[in-house]
């Protein structure tokens, strides 16, 4: 009996069919990436991307175990049959004219589109939005590139935008099976020119107050890309320290770019110095201090006087010297700005520009905003002006914000276009190329897709004098208090008749003297 017990235990511990050696491969993966781009204005842009991909059809399979993909988002996809979701929080405005086209453009507010498009132009972005965003990362903020996400440094920047993008991705050409991709992005712009005492030098520690100490153990790829396009090896205009693992060249946003690549999964990269603090120093100013601006940028403003009527104007700039291209313009205007569609005018080079496509959906009071969508052809080297007049509505007194005199925000316009490229791009394998390369899909190599947002507008509405109710309330309360006090005293006070009392010894003596004198008594 004693000998049978070890044998039974041994049999129970034997692996079943399939064995331990045939363990199922992981169907999810994590790639993280940081792109650092010195801007022409002296600022430095840093773009984080964390991509989690899961080869699972969540809407068909009953999934109960989550490894890298957040369970909260996975349950959302399965329960509501989610097709696609994009949510972004942005503080500040990306200055396309001076900073160039961004990697990840977003409006200066909160926007999301889940079968619908919505914008909250006045939503404030703060630490409470960053903390749950970091908790969605497999390594949270403990290891990898996420250790640089320090709140007090990220929110003291000229521009800050964080986003969550969920979409299905086809696994094969016929798309018979799909994978779910979660892409978390964060873009910030540091004013390194001021913090560097008039120099364009920067480092990871100067920007984030931290350095990279170890890669995320769950990541299959963890890299840092530094834009060194202006680097001239012969003249040595700038110095990058430490030396990169390798370099990467590609056509990004129509121009050829060169990036220094730092692979955090390379053990020699971090273990030699126990941390990685990338530094860039300019030995002398670059020859081309202000490179040519982007071919497409836009500007929006409101004009007019008084509080009855006004005009919304959008300027579309095509700075390409000889090529024209179409732009899709999308505008959502609140219902309390009543648009006059017959006043819509589009002019280019002093001539009317008839749109190729136009769609307008009128607003409904307190239900939905105006929707205006147009396809406009922008001539080469031109400025196209799109303007429309509106009338301000009078809101109910309960619909005004606590500070109505500050004004009401109007969401920015959205521009989508295929912009001509200066350098022909070649088709690439998206799985093998960097993550930021997949943000600019190209059709024939001569164009690249760009989506831009204009500035949000601040419009004043007819506002009643909210001090008058306060004055009326004070006056009414005073009158009521005085009247009520008087009536209350009359109704509750008791009156008594006081009987005259006989006087004392002095009075009796006085009356005695008065009788002697023949005078009536007191």
Q: In CATH, what number is assigned to the domain containing residue 363?
A: 2.60.40.1170
Q: Is residue 467 part of a domain?
A: no
The DSSP result for 299-362, as a single string, is EEEEE-SSSSEEEEEEEEEE--SS--EEEEEEEEE-TTEEEEEEEEEEEETTEE---SEEEEE-
Q: Which of 249, 282, 315 is the last residue of a domain?
A: 282
354: left (phi over 0), alpha (psi -120 to 50) or beta: beta
Q: Is residue 430 part of a domain?
A: no
256 and 363 co-located in one domain: no
Spatial separation of the C-alpha atoms in residues 382 and 379, rounded to whole Å = 6
The answer to whether residue 63 is domain-embedded is: yes
Look up residue 276 and give its DSSP letter.
Answer: B
Same domain as 267, residue 122: yes
Q: Is residue 140 part of a domain?
A: yes
Tell me: do 266 and 311 sit in the same domain: no
- pLDDT for position 8: 36
CA distance 436 to 47: 9
Last residue of a domain, one of 227, 257, 282: 282
CB 368 within 8 A of CB 375: no
Burial class of 141 by CB neighbour count within 10 A (0 to 12, 13 to 18, 19+): middle
Instruction: Report the distance separating Cα 414 and Cα 339, nearest Å.
Output: 18
Q: Is residue 427 part of a domain?
A: no
Asked whether residue 184 is assigned to any structural domain, the reply reads: yes
Same domain, 251 and 306: no
In a domain, 289, yes or no: no
In terms of domains, do 252 and 319 share one? Answer: no
What's the pTM?
A: 0.79
Q: Is residue 361 part of a domain?
A: yes
- Total residues belonging to the chain: 522
Predicted local distance difference test score (pLDDT) of residue 375:
95
Same domain, 351 and 225: no
Q: What is the CA radius of gyration of the chain?
A: 36
* One pLDDT digit (tens) per residue for the chain, 522 residues: 444 434 333 333 334 434 444 445 678 899 999 999 888 777 899 999 999 998 887 767 677 788 888 888 888 888 888 888 888 888 888 888 888 877 777 776 666 666 677 777 777 778 888 889 999 999 988 888 999 998 888 888 888 899 999 988 888 888 888 888 999 999 999 986 655 555 678 888 988 988 998 889 999 999 999 988 876 554 556 778 888 888 888 888 778 888 999 998 887 777 666 788 888 887 766 555 556 678 899 999 999 888 889 999 999 999 998 899 999 999 999 999 999 999 999 999 989 999 999 999 999 999 999 999 999 999 999 999 999 999 999 898 888 888 888 889 998 999 999 888 877 666 666 666 677 777 665 556 678 888 889 988 999 998 888 777 788 889 999 998 988 888 888 888 777 776 666 667 778 888 888 888 888 877
The DSSP string of 346-414 is EEETTEE---SEEEEE--BTTTB-EEEEEEEEEPTTEEEEEEEEEEEPPPPTTSS-SSGGG-EEEPPPE
> Domain boundary residue among 231, 253, 282?
282
* Residue 159 sits in the same domain as residue 302: no
Number of domains in the chain: 2
User: Do residues 37 and 78 share a domain?
Assistant: yes
Note whether 155 and 120 are same-domain residues: yes
Using alpha carbons, list the distances in angstroms from residue 267 to 143, 277, 433: 15, 15, 22
Q: Are residues 211 and 323 in the same domain?
A: no
Same structural domain for residues 44 and 92? yes
Can you give the residue range of the structural domain that contains 100? 28-282
The answer on 211 and 317 residing in a single domain is no
């Amino acid at each position: 009996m004693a000998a049978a017990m070890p044998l039974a235990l041994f049999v129970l511990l034997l692996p079943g069919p399939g064995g331990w050696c045939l363990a199922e491969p992981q169907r999810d993966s994590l790639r993280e990436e940081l792109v650092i781009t010195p801007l022409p204005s002296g600022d430095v842009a840093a773009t984080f991307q964390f991509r989690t991909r899961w080869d699972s059809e969540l809407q068909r399979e009953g999934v109960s175990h989550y490894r890298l993909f957040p369970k909260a988002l996975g349950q959302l996809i399965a329960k509501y049959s989610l097709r696609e979701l994009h949510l972004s929080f942005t503080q500040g405005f990306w200055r396309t004219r001076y900073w160039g086209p961004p990697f990840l453009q977003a409006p200066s507010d909160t926007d999301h589109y889940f079968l619908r498009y919505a914008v909250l132009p006045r939503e404030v972005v703060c630490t409470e939005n960053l903390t749950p965003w970091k908790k969605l990362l497999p390594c949270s903020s403990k290891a990898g590139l996420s250790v640089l996400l320090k709140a007090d440094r990220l929110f003291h920047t000229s521009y800050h935008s964080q986003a969550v993008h969920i979409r299905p991705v086809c696994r094969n050409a016929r798309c018979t099976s799909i994978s779910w991709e979660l892409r978390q992005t964060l873009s910030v712009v540091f004013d390194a020119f001021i913090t560097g005492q008039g120099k364009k030098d920067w480092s990871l520690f100067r920007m984030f107050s931290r350095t990279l100490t170890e890669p995320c153990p769950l990541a299959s790829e963890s890299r840092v890309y530094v834009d060194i396009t202006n680097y001239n090896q012969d003249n040595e205009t700038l110095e990058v320290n430490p030396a990169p693992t390798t370099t990467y060249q590609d056509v990004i946003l129509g121009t050829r770019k060169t990036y220094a690549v730092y692979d955090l999964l390379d053990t020699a990269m971090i273990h030699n110095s126990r941390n990685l603090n990338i530094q860039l120093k300019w030995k002398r100013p670059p020859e081309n201090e202000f490179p040519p601006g982007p071919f497409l940028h836009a500007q929006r403003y409101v004009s007019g006087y008084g509080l009855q009527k006004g005009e919304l104007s959008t300027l579309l700039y095509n700075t390409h010297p000889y090529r024209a291209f179409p732009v899709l313009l999308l505008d959502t205007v609140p219902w309390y700005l009543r648009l006059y569609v017959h006043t819509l005018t589009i002019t280019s080079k002093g001539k009317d520009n008839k749109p190729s496509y136009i769609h307008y959906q009128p607003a409904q009071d307190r239900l939905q905003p105006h929707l205006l969508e147009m396809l406009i052809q922008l001539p080469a080297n031109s400025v196209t002006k799109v303007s429309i007049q509106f009338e301000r509505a009078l809101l109910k007194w309960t619909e005004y914000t606590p500070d109505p005199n500050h004004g009401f925000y109007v969401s920015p316009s959205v521009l989508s276009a295929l912009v001509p490229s200066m350098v022909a791009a070649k088709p690439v394998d998206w799985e093998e190329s960097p993550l930021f390369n997949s943000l600019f899909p190209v059709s024939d190599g001569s164009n690249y897709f760009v989506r831009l947002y204009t500035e949000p507008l601040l419009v004043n509405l007819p506002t009643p004098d909210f001090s008058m109710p306060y004055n009326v309330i004070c006056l009414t309360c005073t009158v009521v208090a005085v009247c009520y006090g008087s009536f209350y005293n009359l109704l509750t006070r008791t009156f008594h008749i006081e009987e005259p009392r006989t006087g004392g010894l002095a009075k009796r003596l006085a009356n005695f003297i008065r009788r002697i004198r023949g005078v009536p008594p007191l």
